Amino acid sequence: MPRTRNEALAAWMAEHKVTTNELAERLNSAIADFTGSYGTCTERGVFRWLSGEIAWPHARQ
């Protein structure tokens, strides 16, 4: 199945001037707020979302 770039995520990140590393950190902090345990999202994971390699984040994210 061909990959489809996640243009919505890319546009949101550009609009809010958020880098892949910053998005991963923000997501991990939000997970910690909700669960009490820091998340494991990485910059590479965000790149994979953007490229369409991963179409949907893990349930925890």
In the chain, where the domains are located? 7-51
For 1-54, how does the pLDDT look when each residue is reduced to its tens digit (9 = 90+)? 678 899 999 999 999 999 999 999 999 999 999 999 999 999 999 999 999 998
Q: What is the pLDDT of residue 8?
A: 93
Output the DSSP codes for 27-40.
Answer: HHHHHHHHHSS---
Asked if 27 contacts 44 with a C-beta cutoff of 8 angstroms, the reply is no
Q: What is the pLDDT of residue 3?
A: 82
Q: What is the pLDDT of residue 61?
A: 54
